[in-house]
Every structure is written in C-alpha cells, then in structure tokens.
Amino acid sequence: MKKKSMHYIEMTFYYIILFFILREWLVPVVELTSTGHLALLLLFIAIAFLLNIFEAPFFISWIIKVAYIAWFIVSVYTEGTVFSGAGIQFLLADIRANISLLLAGDWENVTNPFRSLLFFILIWMLIYLIHHWLTVRKTIFYFFALTVFFISTLDTFTTYDGKAAIVKVILLGLVMTALLYMKRLMAETGTTFVFSKYMRYFLPVIVTIAAVGFMAVLLPKAAPQWPDPVPYIKNLSGNGGQNSMSKVGIGEDDSRLGGSFEADDTVVFTVHSPDKQYWRIETKDFYTTKGWESTGNDNDEYEVAQNEAFISIWPNEKKEAVSAFIYPKIDRSYVLQAYGMMSVLFDAPDAMLFQERATERFNTKGADGSERPLDQYEVVYSTPEYSYTQLKTPVTDSELMYIDERYLQLPDELPERVRTLAADTVEGRKTDYDRAKAIEQYFKRGGFTYETKNVEVPVENQDYVDQFLFETKRGYCDNFSTSMVVMLRSVGIPARWVKGYANGTEVDKTEKGLRVFEIENNDAHSWVEAYIDGIGWMPFEPTIGFVNQSDINFDMELNQSAPQEMLQQQEQDRQEIEREVKEQEEKEKQASKKKHSSNEGSSWVWGIIFFLILLVIGVGLKTRRKWMPKVYIQAQRRKPVSASTIQSSYKVLMRQLTFVGLKRKPDETLQAFAGRVDERFGTDDMSKVTTVYEKAIYSKNTNNHSFDEIKESWEYLINRTTG
C-alpha cells in the first residue's frame, strides 16, 4: 500500500513538472493565435495528467477527454448549453463541414471550432507521448528537446518573446532529466527507494542545475548570429516590436508603406456599372522616401454641387456619359470616382459633397460638418479616351501646359541609381507617353514578383523605392506604383500616386444590363497617374498581374501622312494592349476567388503546429514497434476467438517480427521460419503458434482451433518484439 502511494506521489511530482513545461507550449500559441481560454486548455492537460497518474482505464479516460473537448468547443463557440441537442448538432455539423474542407484541400477556411478540435488532438497526442516517454522509456529527452526547439522557433520567427519561457523550460527539463536518469539507474541496479539516499543524489542535482541556470542567465549573450533569416523578422524588429502587419483596405496614413498585409474579403461596395474599371479615391503627391503624404491641408476643401464633381482627368474626346450606381456596404464617407467623372448624384438632403483640393478626394458631410456616409449614389462619367496620334506626337514647347511643381517633387536623399535606372529605361523614347509606357513595362519585365507576404519595410536610411527596385524586387501594388511615380518624376514627367479600388469581382448582371461588381477590401489598390504633356493626366498600371488600360483611340490610320513604322508601332501597341487585357481576364477567371493574402502571423503558428503534429506522428510511427504490440494485445483480448482471429493475430505477429529483423523469406516455410524465430528468442513459442496457424490454413477443418491454447505464446512473442 505504502509503495503504491509512494508511486502516486512520485508520478504526481513528475507530472507537475511536465505540466509546467507543457504550459510553455500553450502560452505562445494562445498568445499568437489569439485563441484565448488558456486556463481551459491547461485544465484539459491537468485532467489528462491526473487520469494518467491514476492509470484510469482506457475507456474512462477517453470518455472524459472527449467530453471535455466537446464541452469546450460548444461552450466557447456557441451560446448553447453544453450537451443540448443543438450543441451536439453544432459539433457534428462543424466536423462534417471541415472534413470536407480538408478533403477539398481548402485548409485556410477551416473554422475555428475545428481548429480548436485539432489543437486538442495535438495536445492529447503530446500527452500520450509524454506518458509513454515517462512510464515506458523513462526519459523525456525528446519532449524536452522538442519544447526548446518549439519555443526558440517561435521566439525567432514571431513576435513571441520566449526569453522567460526558455529559462523555465531548460531548468525544469534538466530537473526532469536528472530525476528520470536516477529512476532508470535505480531500476537497472534494482535499488529500492530510500528517501535519505535519494536526497543525497537529488540535492546536488538541484544545486548544479540552479547554479547552471543562474550562470546562464548572467552570462552575456552573443548577438543573433543569424541576422535576418526571413525579411519578415527584420520587418518586425525594424518597427521596434510594432506589428507592421496591416489589414488590406483603404487607410488614411500612407507615410510608411511596406510590410505584409492580411487579406480581408469584407465586401465594401457593390457597384452597378456598365464598365469594368478602377475606382479612384484620392491622390497623393509628396514622397517621403518611406511612403506618401499630401502637401496640401486636408481641411482645405470646398463644397461642390452634386452635378459638377469634376476630377482632373477629363475625357479628351467626349464619349457618351454613363452612370454607375454605388452601394456602400460599410459606411464610407468618401466617394468612389470613376475616370472622367462629371457628377455625383445622391438623394440625401442633409448631405453635402466636399472635395479636398490637394488629394481630389470627395467626402460627404452632414450639415454639422461630421462624416455623413451615403447609402447609395450615382456617378456620372464619360470614360476618357486618348488619341493615339496625339500620344505619339512629341509636343512643342508652346503646347506645354502649366503643371504644379509638387507633382515633380522628389526627396533629396533619393539614391542616384534610381534616377539612372529611370533614365536608362526611357532612353530613346520620344514622347512622355512612350516614356511612361516604357517605365510601366519595365516592372513587367524587370524580374519583379508580386507578393503580399513578407514584404520588407525600409529601415532607417533606406529608400522605399530604392529597396524595391534594387534589393527585394518583390512587393505589391504600393511598391510598384510608388516606384513608378518616383521614376517618372526623376525623368521629368509629373506624376502622382493614386489610391482606390481595383475592378472588384463581377458577380451578376442587373435587369438593365449593368454589370454588378463586388468590391472587397482585398481590392484596395494603388496605381499611377502621369501628366502627359498636351493631353493631361493618364492612369498607368505598373503592378504585375493588374491591368487597367486607358481607352486609346487608335486613330492613326486616319492620318495618311503618318510614317509606315508608326503605323506598325500602333498596331503592335494595340495588340499588346489586347494581349494584356486578355491575359488578365484569363487570370481572373482562373483565380476569381483567390485572396490577396492570407492571415500571416497565425499561419506561422499554425504552420509550426502542423509541423509538430507531423513530428508527433513521425515519432509515433518511428516508435511504433514499441507501443503497437501493447495495442495489439489489448485489441486481441477484446476480440472473439475464431479462425480469422488466429490468422490476423499471426499476421500481426509476423509484422512485428520484421521489426526485430525476423522476416520470413519467400521460400521459407512457416515452420522453418518459426524455428529461426525460436532459436533467436530461445523459446519454442513460435513453433507452437505456427503449428496452430498451419492447421488453420492447411488443414481441412479450419474452425476447430482455439486461439486460447497459443494466446500466452503469442503475447509473449509480441512482447519480445518490443525489446
């Protein structure tokens, strides 16, 4: 009796230590995935450990754990009471839905309850492994090493600060290792437990570990030997711990661009429009080396009448005016501008339309000057059309129009190589349009990649454009558009940076034949407008994978005097444009549902968790010859005895034997093999078992053989295979 209680005390002690080590797993995961409910998760571990300590029967422990998980999921994710029919229904429906998601490979959309379930399963497996390591192997080294690896990985790759955790884990782990080593030694030498004797070994261990830990904390740490394993980390440290992950969408502050962003498929607008087009919100003109600001005062705005809401892009050759109807799904006080917009119409007597001078942004305000989002409004516009002839004709000085100097602003610190690159790119181009086009094309051909994840943020003295053009060459719309504006300005073409939304997803058609677009936060976009002398502002799209072609009237054939080569050029350009538009449509078709980016930070953690699950499974497989026999024996005891039991049992035995290098050769008879096995193990059990099995397969009557007579031999052999 005393021995038994002693055993419980010992195990409890071990499990308390293990509990604290395991706790260090949960804390960062919960913190990083904002899962919450740390206490409930810890309670699960505590329960599981208690069940292990008191060696609760298999089925009881399963029932308790499954019930706990079910209770957790139902009570956390639904309002419902724990084991009501609705709760169970919710669980089953969720599992079913997610399994089909998993089967479809749609891992990203797995729901949170199911993630929790998977997480619980992972914890459960870990607990099982810990139990195995503790009771069978009597060493937790794998677990210890795994924990250290886990925490240091998280510390390196995420915002989680594992400093305290790693110290705790190392100390606890060392204590645990020492304790188990002593336990193994005692088992090997057959020493019985005597408290005073035990303490004589245990105390020095504790003292040593404490001393080592103390020293380790005090010792100076070398700076990271691995400066930036992933740009992402740099990005984190560059921001001084501030998480630079931004959600996609339209924000106000563009003064520091860069960094990854999270996808957000919230629908912001539904647009009924005759054309697929970009929707402008505002422009910015001042490049700060890190991002964009506006030189003007935000408050410098004036009221415009609904029917004269012009923007600085006007149609050259008037096309027929058309209307688009915009239905904001989320309150937004700015107005989406179509190119060639002439008026904004809305039916809200209390709302007034203001335009900011500097940015051309339209805001709607109430009488008291506060934001007054509209429920719907109509945008009347006539898409600008540009004459190819005009675009291709160099302007004379007399035709130069006045353009504000601010559209040529560049920071003094702008590295020279940006200017050189821009100059090289436009070399030999005769008109502004050709130059702008050359720069636009440079991004499509210059070896750039479109990427929303792990996009770098420029550090202290780094220029955002320079970094993108020469160092990273990966980024998203902001990188491309900003770079193009800067390049345009450096070759003397006035340019500005435009924020707005890309086309959106076409979902339907209205009865009147308008196309219905859903514009998500994911469609937030930025692009370029360049001022073409003699023509005016013209949009350009440098970002890879996006196409927004201006309507160009290929009017040159009308001009008889145009040189032959220019006509050819025109034809080429026309084909080029058609090709791009086609490619884009193809792409959209293929990936109509593809998201801008994914949930960056937590996908890291989920990735690590997934890796750990794989690792656990891997360890399980690797050590299966250690634990599977026990499972077999358990399973065997449950099974009714029949001829097929003998056959399946024998098969299991054969498979287990292969683990210890005993494999029947194809030409070897069972009895010969059995002889070999028996020789190896120094028994005659295999021959006994084989004789019965042979009867089962070779003799006339297969059913009158009882498994019982060989049960002991079989179990003995199975156990021998674990050794």
Tell whether residue 263 is a contact of another protein (CB under 8 A).
no
CB of 671 to another protein, least distance (A): 5
Nearer to another protein, 603 or 702 (CB): 702
CB of 98 to another protein, least distance (A): 39
Q: Are 37 and 607 in contact (CB under 8 A)?
A: no
Among residues 59, 226, 302, 698, which is the contact residue for another protein, using CB under 8 A? 698
Nearer to another protein, 266 or 699 (CB): 699
d(CA 257, CA 352): 32
Give the pairing of strands 449-450 and 474-475. parallel
Nearer to another protein, 31 or 694 (CB): 694
Nearer to another protein, 228 or 668 (CB): 668
Tell whether residue 704 is a contact of another protein (CB under 8 A).
no
CB of 647 to another protein, least distance (A): 8
CB of 722 to another protein, least distance (A): 24
Nearer to another protein, 155 or 694 (CB): 694
Nearer to another protein, 110 or 710 (CB): 710
Nearer to another protein, 3 or 700 (CB): 700
Among residues 53, 281, 519, 670, which is the contact residue for another protein, using CB under 8 A? 670
What six digits make up the tokens of 83?
Answer: 């084991």
Instruction: Compute the half-sphere exposure of residue 673: CA atoms within 13 Å on the CB side of its CA.
Output: 20
- Of residues 595-654, those binding another protein (CB under 8 A): 647
CB of 649 to another protein, least distance (A): 14
Of 476-484, 489-497, 699-707, 710-718, the segment contacting another protein by CB under 8 A is: 699-707
Query: Distance of CA 260 to CAs 59, 462, 472, 500, 522, Å?
Result: 47, 18, 14, 19, 13
Tell whether residue 700 is a contact of another protein (CB under 8 A).
yes
Tell whether residue 663 is a contact of another protein (CB under 8 A).
no
Nearer to another protein, 459 or 697 (CB): 697
d(CA 577, CA 555): 15
Tell whether residue 695 is a contact of another protein (CB under 8 A).
yes
Sign of CA dihedral 663, 664, 670, 672: negative
- Please give the DSSP secondary-structure letter assigned to residue 334: B
Q: Render 365-409 in DSSP notation, one character per residue.
A: E-TTSSB---S-EEEEE---EEEHHHHHSPPPGGG-----GGGG-
Q: Are 499 and 254 in contact (CB under 8 A)?
A: yes
Nearer to another protein, 187 or 697 (CB): 697
* Residue bearing tokens 């080592």: 212
CB of 708 to another protein, least distance (A): 21
d(CA 152, CA 223): 15
- Please give the DSSP secondary-structure letter assigned to residue 340: T
Among residues 581, 694, 706, 719, which is the contact residue for another protein, using CB under 8 A? 694
Closest by CA position to 655, among listed 676, 685, 624? 624
What six digits make up the tokens of 604?
Answer: 């890291």
- Of residues 643-662, those binding another protein (CB under 8 A): 647
Of 391-399, 579-587, 608-616, 693-701, the segment contacting another protein by CB under 8 A is: 693-701
Nearer to another protein, 550 or 706 (CB): 706
The crossing angle, in degrees rounded to 10, of helices 600-622 and 112-132 is 40
Nearer to another protein, 638 or 700 (CB): 700
CB of 683 to another protein, least distance (A): 20
Q: Are 484 and 509 in contact (CB under 8 A)?
A: no
Among residues 667, 704, 708, 723, which is the contact residue for another protein, using CB under 8 A? 667
**Amino acid letter, residue 101:** L
Q: Are 24 and 126 in contact (CB under 8 A)?
A: no
Among residues 664, 676, 680, 711, which is the contact residue for another protein, using CB under 8 A? 664
CB of 646 to another protein, least distance (A): 12
Q: Are 408 and 576 in contact (CB under 8 A)?
A: no
- Of residues 265-324, those binding another protein (CB under 8 A): none
Nearer to another protein, 190 or 666 (CB): 666
Among residues 401, 699, 709, 712, which is the contact residue for another protein, using CB under 8 A? 699
Tell whether residue 666 is a contact of another protein (CB under 8 A).
yes
CB of 714 to another protein, least distance (A): 17
d(CA 635, CA 629): 10
**Amino acid letter, residue 134:** L
Closest by CA position to 149, among listed 159, 162, 140? 162
CB of 679 to another protein, least distance (A): 16
Of 54-62, 207-215, 481-489, 666-674, the segment contacting another protein by CB under 8 A is: 666-674
Among residues 389, 645, 683, 702, which is the contact residue for another protein, using CB under 8 A? 702
Of 236-244, 343-351, 362-370, 663-671, the segment contacting another protein by CB under 8 A is: 663-671
Among residues 89, 449, 644, 669, which is the contact residue for another protein, using CB under 8 A? 669
| Number of residues binding to another protein, judged by CB under 8 A | 16
Phi, psi angle pair for 273, to nearest 5°: -145, 145
Of 95-103, 270-278, 408-416, 669-677, the segment contacting another protein by CB under 8 A is: 669-677
CB of 631 to another protein, least distance (A): 24
CB of 721 to another protein, least distance (A): 19
What six digits make up the tokens of 227?
Answer: 């400066």
Query: Distance of CA 653 to CAs 510, 600, 662, 663, 667, Å?
Result: 70, 48, 11, 11, 19
Phi, psi angle pair for 722, to nearest 5°: -80, -20
Nearer to another protein, 460 or 667 (CB): 667
Nearer to another protein, 216 or 697 (CB): 697
CB of 689 to another protein, least distance (A): 13
Instruction: Describe the strand order of the beta sheet including 352-356 as a list of residue ranges.
Output: 301-304, 352-356, 362-365
- Please give the DSSP secondary-structure letter assigned to residue 634: H
CB of 682 to another protein, least distance (A): 22
d(CA 408, CA 496): 9
CB of 127 to another protein, least distance (A): 40
Of 154-162, 514-522, 570-578, 697-705, the segment contacting another protein by CB under 8 A is: 697-705
Of 365-373, 383-391, 552-560, 694-702, the segment contacting another protein by CB under 8 A is: 694-702
CB of 677 to another protein, least distance (A): 14
Nearer to another protein, 303 or 667 (CB): 667
Q: Render 228-297 in DSSP notation, one character per residue.
A: -SSHHHHHHHHTTT----EESS--S-BSS--S-EE----EEEEEEESS---EEEEEE-EE-SSSEE-SS-
Nearer to another protein, 237 or 669 (CB): 669
- Reduced to 3 states (helix: H, G, I; strand: E, B; else coil), residue 534 is coil
Q: Which residues contact 123 (CB under 8 A, 6 or more apart)?
A: 22, 26, 41, 44, 45, 48
Tell whether residue 668 is a contact of another protein (CB under 8 A).
yes
d(CA 315, CA 306): 19
Footprint of another protein (CB under 8 A): 647, 664, 666-672, 694-695, 697-700, 702
